[in-house]
Structure 1
Amino acid sequence: MPDWRITRLNGEYCVTWDEGDIRRRYRLGTNDPKEAARRAPARYAELTRPKGSTVKDLWQSYCLDKAGRSVVTTMKYTWKALEPHFGEVEGEAVTIAHCRAYTDARRKAGRKDGSIHTELGHLRSVLVWAQKNRLIAHAPHIERPAKPDAKEGYLTRPEVTRLIEAANSPHVKLAIQLMIATGARSGAALQLTWDRVDFNRRMIQLRNPFDKERRKGRATVPINDGLYAALTEANEGALTPYVVEWAGDKVLSIKKGIKTAGGKIGRADVSPHMLRHSAAVWLAEDGHSMEEIAQFLGHSNTAMTYRVYARFSPNYLRRLAASLEV
């Protein structure tokens, strides 16, 4: 239930909530109940938003505005790193010097540039949001370390077979099969529900049509024979709406299970994302076009597909090399 409620005052609807023993009540400017219900959440968020303009205040305001979205959960951990350096700084007063000092401190603490890039990226998102919502006049430039290149490691087909065999739980085996056969990210695989698995048409819709959050790379893909058999078996014993489940509950992370299986086959570097990368490499090795691979992976821009996977194609630049025969 929300902290606020809708009440009436002299025939007009209000948004009302309690702060200790004090009741707060503000008019919504309408006597239409549907319009009041529409206006109330935004009005409540506006009225309860921290009034200050320090980074800490703006961060709290951003999280209130984005409540319920997955990014807010991630930003809870990001803030633990950022707060000692930026918390009391005015949002408009953040400088490149602040950013460089933060980067140096995090590197000395052993953090990789990829993590620092993400942390400062969250800070940038908050400040840009604050400017759009007129909480600050302008969002200062946030300097970040260059984003590291994606890891190049991938698994061969025999290694994936051994990985599945080494998995110590049925849900880990199924997750590996699902991710390698669809190229799905781990989040998409773990959030997949049975209502988006079409056994008749043998198709999987990785994107939840009711989820309004922007998600990367969630396509609708066919089900191959191996995955069809695995899904059919799993569906017969399903206890939840989720395809990947454990002990009658949704699985939140598969990293540890895959890491354990990877250690058993001598691939301690294996990760859920490596399965998606491996699927893409296999598709390129089999000579499929970059445009088709981009569609299968849900890439919005084929340029990235070309940049990462074209070199794995057996036809990559071969006609050009043939032109240089002496």
Structure 2
Amino acid sequence: MSEWRIKLYRGKYAAVRSVNGATERYSLRTADYAEAQRRLIDFQLQPEGELVRDLMAVYLADKRKTAIRWKDLDGAWKQAEPTFGHLRPDQITRDLCRKYRDMRYAQGRKPATVRKELETVRAGMFFSKSGRAAIFELPPQPKPKERFLTKEEARQLVKAARPFPHIRAFIVLSLTTAARQSALLELTWDRVDFKRGRISLSLGDDLDETRKRRAEVPINRRARLYLEALYRARTCDYVIEWGGHRVLSVKKGFKAACDRAGLEGVTPHILRHSAASWMAMARVPMLDISKYLGHTDIMVTARRYAKVHPDYLRQAADALEW
């Protein structure tokens, strides 16, 4: 292992050394050589393995074993690493988080995206005791989207998706099961019980505890019609398939169907939101809606959907009659 030395890299100085024939490089984040020398001294005083990038490496390695959407975490850290990676945890401050937020906003990123990136860094630091000296400030949580489909819009969307059978199947099953996109795309035929009239959205494996909870839901009339047709035409184990293979994403096909139907501001997740809203407007009890959605806390359901219930605050309003 060689000693650290200063080397110019892409217009800025970096601390560089050779370890077992491989080069390690950490940016000193300055183009001034004298300042780089001072920063190199500070850098060498830091304990090995205590930089933010080292702690994040441990956290992400663990998440690759347990998290379904670990690639999202990797992507978030890829954006945040140039700002935070070379620091010690105690050098992460509210002011630095604000600077990062403003920089990402200037790059055109949405508050929800920036919040997710900072949440990823925060989770990585709190994963280790040595990372808990970091202090974070996150952009405010974005307001939930209020958009949901009317049943007429849903019929238009299904009709527009006829050229894309897998997209049409996804739309219908989303609206009849209120399942999350990931749960439907992972659904296999062994968890569709036509005899009992039930669909188990849970995978039933060792990772179930790390996922958002998934429910077992009844098969209604419309869902059964589509499922029976899909079962007769099946060419693989997955319910949502295309060309004999599991569908990994419906993003492009779903957008094409929305464009054909003339619907704006509609995403795949809005189908789940629409299904829950329809149940609330039909006066389905909040507890039943909560179980259908797989929520672990009925208050989560009530905060989102109670306001579309026809009787929302009606008793309170009636009490004010005089």
> Quick one: distance in 2 between partners of 1:71 and 1:313?
33
Which residue identity is paired with 1:292? D
CA shift for structure 1 position 183: 0.4
Partner in structure 1 of residue 8 of structure 2: none
Structure 2 partner of 1:241? 237
> Which whole-Å deviations, capped at 9, do the CAs of 1:174-207 have from their partners, x for residues lacking one?
0011110010010111011111111110101111
Alignment of 1:105-124 (within 5 A): 105-124=103-122
Corresponding position of 2:175: 180
Contact 1:155 / 1:275 at 8 angstroms: preserved in 2? Answer: yes
| Equivalent in 139, 147, 170 of residue 153 of structure 1 | 147
Code of the aligned partner of 2:57: Q
Match of 1:196 among 185, 191, 194: 191
Give the aligned partner of residue 216 of structure 2: 220
Describe the shift of the 1:108–1:325 C-alpha distance in structure 2 as closer, same or farther (beyond 3 A): same
Aligned partner of 1:301 in structure 2 is: 297
Separation (CA, whole Å) in 2 of partners of 1:196 and 1:218: 12
The answer on 1:265 being equivalent to 2:282 is: no
Aligned mates of 1:315, 1:65 — CA distance in 2 = 46
Asked if 1:286 corresponds to 2:277, the answer is no
Cα distance in 1, alignment partners of residues 153 and 269 from structure 2: 15
> 1: distance between equivalents of 2:283 and 2:159?
28
Unaligned runs of 5+ in 1: 1-18, 22-50
Does the Cα contact within 8 Å between 1:205 and 1:221 map onto a contact in 2?
yes
Change (3 A) 1:53 1:156: same
- Partner of 1:294: helix, strand, or coil? helix
Quick one: which amino acid aligns to residue 186 of structure 1?
Q
| Distance verdict in 2 for CA 1:75–1:137, change over 3 Å | closer
State how far apart, in whole Å, the 1-side matches of 2:114 and 2:303 are.
24
Change in 2 beyond 3 A, CA 1:212/1:321:
same
* Pairing of 1:84-99 with structure 2 (within 5 A): 84-99=82-97
Offset at 1:63?
2.0
3-state SS of the aligned residue for 2:127? helix
Aligned to 2:60: 63
Structure 2 CA distance for aligned equivalents of residues 64 and 312 of structure 1: 42
Q: Report the AA paired with residue 132 of structure 2.
A: H
Shift in Å, 1:248: 1.1
Shift of 1:20: 8.9
Of 154, 158, 162, the residue aligned with 1:164 is: 158
> Which of 299, 308, 316 in structure 2 is aligned with 1:320?
316
* 1:78-102 Cα deviation digits (max 9, x unpaired): 1221011111111232111211111
Offset of residue 217 of structure 1: 4.0
TM-score norm. by structure 2 comes to: 0.81
Q: CA deviation at 1:143?
A: 1.1
Cα distance in 1 between the residues matched to 2:177 and 2:20: 52
**2:14 aligned partner:** none
> For 1:179 and 1:88, how far apart are their aligned partners in 2?
44
Amino acid at match of 1:179: S
| Structure 1 residue 306 displacement after superposition | 1.2
One-letter identity of the residue aligned with 2:314: R
Structure 2, unpaired ranges of 5+: 1-18, 22-47
Counterpart code for 2:173:
L
Name the Cα RMSD after superposition.
1.9
Superposed CA deviations along residues 265-289 of structure 1, whole A, max 9, x for unmatched, are 2212111110000001100010111
Partners of 2:158 and 2:53 in 1: how far apart? 45
Which letter maps to 2:53? K
Q: 3-state DSSP class of the match of 1:66?
A: helix
